[in-house]
Amino acid sequence: MPPETPLGYGLHPNAEIDYRTVQSEKLFEILVDLQPKGGGGGAGATEDTKIREYFDLVNNALSLEGLKINLDDLAGKMDEQTRGPYQNAFMQECEKLNTLINGILRSLQDLDLAYKGELTMNEAMELLEDCIRLDRKPPQWIKIAYPSERGLISWTENIKARIDQMNIWKDDPVKIPKVIFINRLINPNSFLTAIKQVFCRESNPQQELNKTTILTEVQKKMYWEADLPELRKTDGALVFGFQVEGARWDMNSGVEDSAPKVSFSIMPVINCKAAVLSDKVDKASYICPVYKTIDRMSTFVFFAQLKTKHNIDKWTIAGVAMILDVPGAADVFAPGKDPTAV
């Protein structure tokens, strides 16, 4: 039999590059795990440079302690009339981020006390040490965190990016930002549900929520560009942060084949709006699944509609999807930056 090629399965040649890359990363992870671990053990253990650098990142460079949001003050800025579905969704985000930050800081404080000899090193602390050295997320943080395939440093910086978005919103919680970075939401489904709730309230209070869906209209502008449309309440919200895997987005023709050796394509701003469910099938749109991470699995969010000039079966067979959290991608796409370079 000849060597297998991704083209034989309807996949883009980039799929083999990604597969081989993952294989190599897993191999080296195993090799690292087989290496002898540091001594540790007992009170007053010695910290190494990598751990001290991570302490400095959390406490000084990012100052996670000072980024926690005061939920009582935030709730005091709203009343029953001004606190709607969007505000509830964002309040839940703030609560989850505060819980995550508290968990991170508590673990690091315990480890610091162990280094000072005030606490005895235990198995959880030794595991935390190993994870910091290997740039991996500790299991105790994963339990209270959001799905992500990022390394520890990138993941920690991503937490700050998520908090920054909430800090922009908290200054005027009655009004939501013009463009929402959906890839910086722990629970994007909650925000999408809020869009449907606002639609039902404003258009028809008798409309059942479970008989509505989210429609996506891709704009021709990135979030930093001017002249983004002003939306009414029933028009949904402008969101940013989607990246297409397995294909690329063309401003004129929609979904197209990926560029060679470019696995992800950043989407422009998308207008996510609610509509009543319909039996009509749009044969010019690919119903694209959206996932939180490249692992996909149980991280499904919703189905988006992407225009294409090709047969939609082409993209279904190729496994094309949009991903929210992509390791290695910039958290902030600076104005003027070529999206295809990310």
What pLDDT, on a 0 to 100 scale, did the predictor assign at position 234? 85
Asked whether the whole model's pTM tops 0.85, one would answer: yes
* Longest CA–CA separation in the chain, Å: 69
Residue keyed to tokens 């800025």? 77
Q: Name the percent of the chain in helix, strand, coil, to the closest 5.
A: 45, 15, 40
Closest CA to 40 of 103, 131, 109: 131
Domains of the chain by range and CATH?
39-177 (no CATH), 178-342 (3.10.490.20)
Confidence of residue 340 (pLDDT cuts 50, 70, 90): very low
CA distances from 26 to 19, 42, 217 (A): 11, 32, 38
Distance CA 341, CA 189 (A): 29
What is the arithmetic mean of pLDDT over 85-111? 95
**pLDDT category of residue 151 using cuts at 50, 70 and 90:** very high
What pLDDT does residue 331 have? Answer: 43
Eight-state DSSP code of residue 229: P
**Region 142-146: what's the mean pLDDT?**
95
Closest C-alpha to 164, from 89, 62, 57: 62
Is the per-residue pLDDT at 341 higher than 90? Answer: no
Q: Is 338 exposed, middle or buried (0-12, 13-18, 19+ CB in 10 A)?
A: exposed
What pLDDT, on a 0 to 100 scale, did the predictor assign at position 44? 42
Burial of 103 (0-12, 13-18, 19+ CB in 10 A): middle
Q: What percent of the chain has pLDDT over 90?
A: 65
Q: What is the pLDDT of residue 245?
A: 94
pLDDT confidence band for 207 (50 / 70 / 90): confident
- pLDDT tier at 38 (50, 70, 90 boundaries)? low
Amino acid 35: pLDDT:
82
Interatomic CA distance for residues 179 and 270, integer angstroms: 9
Quickly tell me which residue has 């404080």 as its tokens.
109
Token pair for 310: 């090709």
* pLDDT surpasses 60 at 41: no
- Among 176-190, 206-220, 221-235, the minimum mean pLDDT is found in 221-235
| Whole-number pLDDT of residue 333 | 47
> When comparing pLDDT for 69 and 329, which is higher?
69
Is residue 72 pLDDT above 80, yes or no?
yes
